Amino acid sequence: MNSSSTSSSNAPLWRRILVATVFVAGLVAIFAYLNKQGGKGRIEGDIWFSLVAGEGLGHTADALFIGSSRVSAAIVADGFDQMMGQVLRRPIQSVNLGMGYSTTAEYVMGLKRLRDLNPEAIRGSVVFIEAPMGLPDYSTWSDTWLVDAAPELMSRYLTSGDLPRLFRSNTPTGGKLLVAANVLFGYDENITRIRRTFQSWLDATTLSVFSGLLPISVEGGTADLSSKGGIRTDKKGVDDAKIIAQRTIAAELADQRPRREWDNTTMFEVVQLLREMGAQPIFYEMPMSPGMSAIYQTPVRIQDRAIFQAVAGRWGVPYLKPTIATTEEDFPDEWHLRKSRAPEFTEALTREFLEKFVAPAMRSAQPAPSVDSTKTGA
Amino acid sequence: MSFVSLQFPIFFLVVCLVLGLLPKKARWAWLVAASCWFYMAFIPAYILILFVLIAVDYSAGLWIEKSQGAKRKWILIGSLITNVAMLAAFKYLNFALENVNEVFQSTGIGSLAWRFPWVLPIGLSFHTFQSMAYTIEVYKGKQKAERHLGIYSLYVLYFPQMVAGPIERPQNLLVHLREPSGFTWIGVIDGLKLMAWGLFKKVLVADRLAVYVDSVYANPNGHSGWEVLIASYFFAFQIYCDFSGYTDIARGAARVMGTRLMLNFNHPYISRSPAEFWHRWHISLSTWFRDYLFFPLGGSRGALWATCRNLFIVFIVSGFWHGAAWTFLAWGAIHGLFMVVQKLLEQSKSFVGASAKMGSTGAGRLLQMLFTFHLVTFAWIFFRAKSMSDALDSIRQIVSMGSWADLGAAFANPAARAGVLVMALLVAIEWAHRRWHMPTYLAARPWYVRWLLWYGLLTATLLYGRFGNEQFLYFQF
């Protein structure tokens, strides 16, 4: 639009400034209004630590599963609870906190906030941490703290005191600014929510209009995948995920650097925080598609894996290796285990956990071992 | 730094605040520093390439002005060769190597498993063309050589237009940079409006359309003819909104700071012929080619065949300017062919008469516009495709079309429906602008109507814009 302003160019300066101020104030008012409208309820997968803090459960969870959307796809919390409950002869409650686009830096910050709110929130819980093909996340504080697509996941855990450290990291500048705006002014998160609501409404409206004109049959959640943790199950979502997986595999194989300095990682801080809060971390191997597992089968990664197992031992964190036979078909979008195989994997993991920790505790003549006693065994 | 990054508003605000505090004589230094900072946000070391260009062309300008006779020509040629060599080294060398490699492989000689380890410096094609425009104009005597190295540096580096144009002429830009008018109320307001409009076109229209276009063009064979056709229409609007959106933000930013950059787009899709399209699309590049390549080749002064040859050469070069790939050459050749055919048809009095008669009615003009739009969209297929085989596959898919049910299936994708929505919105706004000339029309409306429209535009951008993609399509050139 080639504009040539005809606004009050002859008006005195004070009037121009007043007009500009009122215009900007109007914009701020719209922004504040949208922010307020979006302030009800939470975005899907919101604040994982608040669940643990008792908002969702009413009491401390016995076990937590933290990690990426791979965790939300592969773990069936009810299955774990049932199997453990039968053995321990009491109700067990676990929570699957697997979330797409989450990062280990976010877990550290989340745990810190949780510790400030309620230091006892996870005392006695077992915390399962995914280690794809035997290697958990290797990020450090100088890496990016957040995923571009979901900066709001991180911003809700930070305080203004954390911002200088965030700005020293290699987080993209846009992400830093968004997080800072959210932390300092409380924006972004609610706007994100109202954007999603508006876009869903617009999508539904256009669908009803187009459906009246054309024979449209919308493919819903067609893939055999869990839709929790932000996983897309529609055809396009699955196709996009496959493309991203191919790029990730190619990039990783082209430039694979050793992962040896584990004590500098954010994962080490997660382990330390969990310990400090009275929880027991446990690493477990996550099943991967053949394409993805190729990344971990190079000489560099084989050596990394051996080194990490020694590191986990030094950290005093048990390491479980549940196995189920999988094929390419078990990973519809290359990233996530098929929904129909998730109970089997959960069972394998639970069995491994029971065999390694609960059974020895039971054999040592404890009458009815609690999850706490299993942790003692761990 | 991209105009649609979160850093840019902060950067721009700081630049403007400091600029406003500085005396006019010192402003060039601040703008040079800010422009270097802006460029170095991409790949810092590549700023050295710009410094070399500045040094060569600044010296060449002064030297040409001082020299006489054939020496002037040789200095100009030296300067042009340096610019073109720079472009060739960074943009075309790897392309040439790849092709040599393919020839070697096909003849069984072997392969050169080797590439130059650099990526194309952002906006290099734009800087070199702007620099060459300066030396050519000095050579022609139409522009005095700039003596102030800082001002000349700013001519090449000026951040609003340094990475994707408009490709300015020294007569326009140097004057503004030498004698900046500074901030004016009207300049600031108009500039901000242009920037808001550009942002709307980029994040709400172009980037929404990109979702569908990218997924289809990633694998045209995996999509139905309808899907490829829809993606091709979308791409026509995507590239327009992406590039003109960038230009509007660039022009708006310059306008805020008191500089007027040239118009680069003038409703190109209402063109009624390929020639008219090129008068309305990327005007700064079209006029550059006209003035510095078409006219020196002889323009349309000679015989008909010579004019056709010149036209074809210009469009082939233009295609190659856009990118080092056969698809861009094909795109340029197709447009060259359109221009040649139009030129030949214009020789026929009956064609000219029929065309004029058709253009005298609204329906006739609409048909001419639609026909031209489809010619241009056809050529865009080559521009967008990843390879020649993909382009040909896309055309094959479109020709095979598909069933009514396939069309329904295409619109089952939310990105396709969103694309139609934003395209319709853009067409409606552009039509209204064309029909009533919105600034004039709005000026006569009460203030609250104007404000409501701008609030609506900004809120729509906030709620439906697709943020996160900081790349503009023309950055790759």
pLDDT score at A36: 65
- 10 Å Cβ neighbour count for A119? 12
- Which long-range contacts link B283-292 to residues 24+ away (Cβ below 8 Å)? B283/B166, B284/B165, B284/B166, B284/B167, B284/B168, B285/B129, B285/B165, B285/B167, B285/B318, B285/B321, B288/B129, B288/B133, B288/B167, B289/B314, B289/B317, B289/B318, B290/B314, B292/B132, B292/B133, B292/B136
Name which of B7, B193, B405 is nearest A215 (Cβ-Cβ).
B405
Query: Contact B6/A174, CB-based, under 8 Å?
Result: yes
Residue A166 at interface with chain B, using a CB cutoff of 8 Å? no
DSSP, collapsed to helix, strand or coil, labels residue B338 as: helix
Show residues of chain A in contact with B197, CB under 8 Å. Answer: 1, 3
pLDDT score at B182: 78
Quick check: A338 and A332 in contact, CB under 8 A? yes
Closest CA to B131 of B107, B157, B111, B95: B157
Q: How far is A172 from chain B (nearest CA, A)?
A: 10
Q: How far is A295 from chain B (nearest CA, A)?
A: 24
**Integer CA distances (angstroms), A167 to A111, A141, B13, B468, in order:** 20, 11, 20, 19
Residue A177 scores a pLDDT above 70: yes
pLDDT score at B415: 87
Query: Contact B438/A3, CB-based, under 8 Å?
Result: yes
Q: How far is B432 from chain A (nearest CA, A)?
A: 10
Closest CA to B415 of B255, B272, B215: B215
Q: How many Å separate Cα A254 from the centre of its chain?
A: 26
pLDDT score at B411: 85
Name which of A27, A210, A219 is nearest B417 (Cβ-Cβ).
A210
How would you class A114 by CB atoms within 10 Å of its CB: exposed for 0-12, middle for 13-18, buried for 19 or more? buried
Name the H helices within chain A. 13-37, 48-52, 69-74, 77-88, 104-117, 152-155, 163-168, 173-185, 189-213, 235-254, 266-276, 290-293, 299-315, 342-353, 359-363, 371-377
Question: Amino acid identity, residue B146?
Answer: E
Residue of A nearest to B417 (CA): A206
Greatest Cα pair distance in chain B: 75
DSSP, collapsed to helix, strand or coil, labels residue A265 as: strand
Lowest mean pLDDT among A2-16, A333-347, B56-70, B254-268: A2-16
Lowest mean pLDDT among A128-132, A328-332, B161-165, B390-394: B161-165
Residue A42 scores a pLDDT above 80: no
Name which of A148, A206, A239 is nearest B421 (Cβ-Cβ).
A206
DSSP B262: P
Please give the mean pLDDT across all residues of chain A.
78
Show residues of chain B in contact with A200, CB under 8 Å. Answer: none
Could you give the angle at the alpha carbon of A321 between the alpha carbons of A317 and A325, nearest 5°? 160
Tell me which residues of chain B have a pLDDT lower than 50.
none
The total number of residues written for chain A in this structure: 378
> Residues 25-44, chain A: which have Cβ within 8 Å of B?
26-27, 30-31, 34
pLDDT score at B476: 57
Query: Contact B197/A216, CB-based, under 8 Å?
Result: no
Average pLDDT over residues A336-356: 89
pLDDT score at B451: 85
Name which of A5, A30, A217 is nearest B186 (Cβ-Cβ).
A5
Higher pLDDT, B105 or A123: A123
The total number of residues written for chain B in this structure: 477
Name the H helices within B401-464. 404-410, 414-436, 438-443, 447-464
pLDDT level of residue A5 (50, 70, 90 thresholds)? very low
Closest CA to B199 of B434, B9, B392: B9
Show residues of chain A in contact with B443, CB under 8 Å. Answer: 6-7
Q: Whole-angstrom Cα distance, residue B212 to residue B230?
A: 9
- 10 Å Cβ neighbour count for B313? 16
Residue A364 scores a pLDDT above 90: no
Name which of A1, A173, A239 is nearest B438 (Cβ-Cβ).
A1
Could you give the angle at the alpha carbon of A318 between the alpha carbons of A314 and A321, nearest 5°? 125
State the ipTM, two decimals: 0.72
Show residues of chain B in contact with A215, CB under 8 Å. Answer: 404-405, 408
Query: Contact A206/B420, CB-based, under 8 Å?
Result: yes
pLDDT score at B455: 87
CB pairs under 8 A between A and B: 110
Strands (E), B138-197: none
Residue B116 at interface with chain A, using a CB cutoff of 8 Å? no
pLDDT score at A357: 80
Closest CA to B265 of B319, B208, B363, B198: B198
CA-CA-CA-CA torsion for B152, B155, B156, B162, nearest 10 degrees?
160
pLDDT score at B82: 92
Q: How many Å separate Cα B230 from the centre of its chain?
A: 23
Average pLDDT over residues A299-308: 89
Q: How many Å separate Cα B120 from the centre of its chain?
A: 17
Residue A43 scores a pLDDT above 50: no
Residue of B nearest to A23 (CA): B451
pLDDT level of residue A2 (50, 70, 90 thresholds)? very low
Residue of B nearest to A22 (CA): B451
Q: DSSP string of A195-239?
A: HHHHHHHHHHHHHHHHHHHS------S-SSS--GGG---SHHHHH
User: Sheet holding A280-286: strands in order across?
Assistant: A94-96, A63-66, A126-132, A280-286, A319-320
Q: Whole-angstrom Cα distance, residue B265 to residue B443?
A: 23
Residue A16 at interface with chain B, using a CB cutoff of 8 Å? yes
Question: Amino acid identity, residue B183?
Answer: F
**Integer CA distances (angstroms), B117 to A82, B40, B42, B91, B114, in order:** 58, 19, 17, 12, 9
Give every CB contact of residue B23 below 8 A, 6+ residues apart in sequence. none
pLDDT score at B228: 93
Average pLDDT over residues A303-317: 90
Query: Contact B408/A214, CB-based, under 8 Å?
Result: yes
pTM of the model: 0.74
pLDDT score at B139: 92
Show residues of chain A in contact with B193, CB under 8 Å. Answer: 1, 3, 5
pLDDT score at A346: 93
pLDDT score at A338: 86
CA-CA-CA-CA torsion for A311, A315, A317, A321, nearest 10 degrees?
0
Could you give the angle at the alpha carbon of B83 between the alpha carbons of B81 and B85, nearest 5°? 65
Query: Contact B462/A34, CB-based, under 8 Å?
Result: yes
Name which of B411, B459, B470 is nearest A214 (Cβ-Cβ).
B411
Strands A319-320 and A280-286: parallel
Q: How far is B74 from chain A (nearest CA, A)?
A: 42
Question: Amino acid identity, residue A37?
Answer: Q
pLDDT score at A363: 65
pLDDT score at A3: 44
Show residues of chain B in contact with A4, CB under 8 Å. Answer: 186, 190, 439
pLDDT score at B291: 92
pLDDT score at B111: 66
Residue of B nearest to A217 (CA): B412
> Residues 394-433, chain B: which have Cβ within 8 Å of A?
404-405, 407-409, 411-415, 417-418, 420-421, 429, 433
Quick check: A210 and B417 in contact, CB under 8 A? yes
pLDDT level of residue A163 (50, 70, 90 thresholds)? confident
**Integer CA distances (angstroms), B381 to A355, B195, B338, B368, B396, in order:** 61, 29, 15, 20, 11
Q: Would you name the residues of B annotated as active-site residues?
A: 322
Residue B435 at interface with chain A, using a CB cutoff of 8 Å? no
pLDDT score at A7: 45
Name which of A1, A6, A149 is nearest B197 (Cβ-Cβ).
A1
Give every CB contact of residue B145 below 8 A, 6+ residues apart in sequence. B61, B62, B64, B65, B138
Average pLDDT over residues A155-184: 81
Residue B439 at interface with chain A, using a CB cutoff of 8 Å? yes
Optimal mutation site among B3, B184, B186, interface A, most CBs of chain A within 10 A = B186
Quick check: A6 and B443 in contact, CB under 8 A? yes
Residue of A nearest to B41 (CA): A173
pLDDT score at A33: 75
Residue A148 at interface with chain B, using a CB cutoff of 8 Å? yes
- The 3-state DSSP composition of chain B as helix, strand, coil percent (nearest 5) reads 75, 0, 25
